[in-house]
Structure 1
């Protein structure tokens, strides 16, 4: 079983790179599908689930909690339940076979599957430009507002990551390949990363 997990800074293009890797390798790609599955299994609105799991409704949670969701005294019950459900969904998707999973701390939750762990990042200017290019007409932010949003999302991701690992989110020691997308075409970059993945799994002896 071959699994690639993609962790990424907000606005770095990690989601797009994951999708293009899926196209190159012919493997299933999971991103928002995970949110949809969690929402469906709990009869909840997808927007609510996304807000809880992605927008940082975990304030007051210690940065290190023994790497478990079983006991989080500062978290609302719904948050604990949805985190556990997300874990179950990730494990179920991994059991289906080769795949690419973006975000969700899949690199840590699926560690026993020995995934190829990518971290995608870029300089601030590139991230701001990417976000502005992809924002809808009703999501127009000033540069200052957008920069604040980038930092907030990354802080939430780092906080969630700290629930499961002592290594800081984005620390190179926690990943097999860190990809700087600054000034690069993701369309051109994806086949190169796909070739790296093939070589890596081959050397790992992963069938």
Structure 2
């Protein structure tokens, strides 16, 4: 079973769309272990809509929290305690795409950050980053946070309008592989996402991480 963890330099940058494209391209199962905020839908519903994967490939969350907030706060408001034991990797046939919640240093609970959870799993991570202003700082800090925990980085995927310099300097300074750039799509649907993913994201590169 090959596992790819998708995270981002921040929340709301498009990592769910990227995860949907990746899961569709690999014919993978998709798992969002912690969903915080479900109005009108959660991320697995969006992935189901955008990926065209069968319902059996969209796994239920370990925690589905009502409040759109950091997992530790959403769990506290919902009266739930997030346990590491419930975040064990699911066993599936074939590839598995896992989407994290928020950025790397978002608290999962009072003791654990999202990056610590990734280190616990020991699987390679794909870092999604904006192309816009501020992304150099956010991306390099995220890379440092992963490396400090000995988390393998399969590559960085940019999302947004083209920015040649940002797309060049971040992989160079961070010593990470660039997987390409996923453009903003309008309309965004399974067909346009699959086409953009095939044209812009380099899945032929090995995903063993650095």
The TM-score bracket by the shorter chain reads 0.3 to 0.5
TM-score (norm 1): 0.47
Q: Which has the higher contact order (CA 8 A, sep 6+)?
A: 1
TM-score (norm 2): 0.47
The structure whose residues are more often helix, as a share, is 1
The structure whose residues are more often strand, as a share, is 2
Tell which structure's C-alpha radius of gyration is larger: 1
